[in-house]
């Protein structure tokens, strides 16, 4: 049997981007949660996936959603990432999200934004995997560094890598 601590450390050697899932909770307030389990699934049809721990404080809210956004964060959005990763309030503050025609909150300054409907939910061990059907996408055109997570901490990409 694999030791969970060894497994966590081994997974930590895979550097990932950081994203915030945005949605409206059961009180219709715009909330977000930080993830690094984002992955593209398919171009035709356009699908993506992300995972949520079963013990997450937002599990019941996520379980009830039919729409969500995935917002890929830039390196200068580390404070927002930390706030949405911890326990406590996950409600967006004034000015953090854009007015949008999409049906899920879009984070101002995100490198990319995917507006999604829930295509499927899959129970997978101690997580819930959500597969989103992508209804809309936006991305920034300026050159900004992404927020990267590696070995349990935020890190930067090497220059000229």
Q: Residues 72-113: pLDDT tens digits?
A: 999 999 999 999 998 999 999 989 998 666 579 999 999 999
**Distance separating alpha carbons of residues 104 and 30, to the nearest angstrom:** 8
In a domain, 155, yes or no: no
- 125 pLDDT above the threshold of 90: yes
In a domain, 154, yes or no: no
In a domain, 4, yes or no: no
Question: Of 12-16, 20-24, 33-37, which gets the smallest average pLDDT?
Answer: 12-16
Whole-model pTM?
Answer: 0.91
Output the pLDDT for position 65.
95
**DSSP assignment of the chain:** ---HHHHHHHHTTS-EE-EEEEEE-TTS-EEEEEES--EEEETTTTEEEEEEETT-TTHHHHHH-SEEEEEEPBGGGHHHHHHHHSSS--BPPTTSEE--SSSS-EETT-SEEEEEEEEEEEEETTEEEEEEEEEEEEE--S--PBPEEETTEEE-PPTT-
Boundaries of domain holding 58: 17-31+39-147
In a domain, 141, yes or no: yes
Please state, rounded to an integer, the average pLDDT across all residues of the chain.
91
Question: Of 24-28, 90-94, 99-103, 138-142, which gets the smallest average pLDDT?
Answer: 99-103
In a domain, 67, yes or no: yes
**Residue 137: CATH number of its domain:** 2.30.110.10
The structural domain count of the chain equals 1
In a domain, 107, yes or no: yes
């Amino acid at each position: 049997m694999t030791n969970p601590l060894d497994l966590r450390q081994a997974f930590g050697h895979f550097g990932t981007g950081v994203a915030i899932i945005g949605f409206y909770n059961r009180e219709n307030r715009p909330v977000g949660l930080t993830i690094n389990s984002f992955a593209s699934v398919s171009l035709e049809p356009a699908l993506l996936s992300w995972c949520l721990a079963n013990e997450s404080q937002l599990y019941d809210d996520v379980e009830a959603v039919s729409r969500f956004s995935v917002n890929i964060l830039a390196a200068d959005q580390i404070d927002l990432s930390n706030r949405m990763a911890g326990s406590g309030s996950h409600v967006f503050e004034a000015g953090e999200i854009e007015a949008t025609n999409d049906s899920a909150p879009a984070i101002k300054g995100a490198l990319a934004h995917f507006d999604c409907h829930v295509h499927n939910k899959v129970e997978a061990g101690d997580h819930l995997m959500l597969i989103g059907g992508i209804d809309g996408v936006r991305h920034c055109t300026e050159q900004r560094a992404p927020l990267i997570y590696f070995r349990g901490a935020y890190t930067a990409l090497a220059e000229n890598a």
